[in-house]
Amino acid sequence: SLKEMTAPGMLVCLSPIVFGVLFGKEALAGMLPGALVSGVQMAISASNTGGAWDNAKKYISSPDNELRGASGVPLDKDQREEAHKASVIGDTIGDPMKDTYGPALNILIKLMAIISVVFAPTVGDPKMGGLLFDRLFSAWSVKDAPPGDSL
């Protein structure tokens, strides 16, 4: 399983460096809030979904609850067993989502931010940061425009 985590780990570690070197410090400063917002949304969603699946199993497994179908009719024994089997599968997925996947995204967000801070001098250096955009846009800069030409 560690071999399978190599690619996602490298994506998290290398994306701020590659993004900053190719596109510059301004673009990197825009990528980090995007990673933060999407990571927080995914973490909250995963934690809530995992908790709902976990609680559904507890509810279905409880002998005090009378489960009812869509029409409001109480479920018979076979239907209750089928619901219990489905809830066990949901619990198997929900526990790791709630306990590991959601909280692990917090580490991902922090790691991207720390790597960006560590490599900030490299990204901010005019010789290293923004290799693609700075070189491309410097060819089209306003200072090279003919006099009287405005954007």
Q: What pLDDT digit, counting tens, does each position of 30-48 carry?
A: 999 999 999 999 999 988 9
Angstrom CA distances, 90 to 35, 50, 51, 54, 69, stand at 28, 8, 10, 7, 18
Tokens of 76: 């018979």
- Phi, psi torsion values for 74, nearest 5 degrees: -60, 145
For residues 4 and 111, is the Cβ–Cβ distance under 8 A?
A: no
pLDDT in tens, 49-86: 988 988 888 888 887 777 777 787 888 888 888 888 98
E strands present in the chain: none
Q: Which residues contact 83 (CB under 8 A, 6 or more apart)?
A: 60, 67, 75
pTM of the model: 0.72
- Spatial separation of the C-alpha atoms in residues 123 and 121, rounded to whole Å: 6
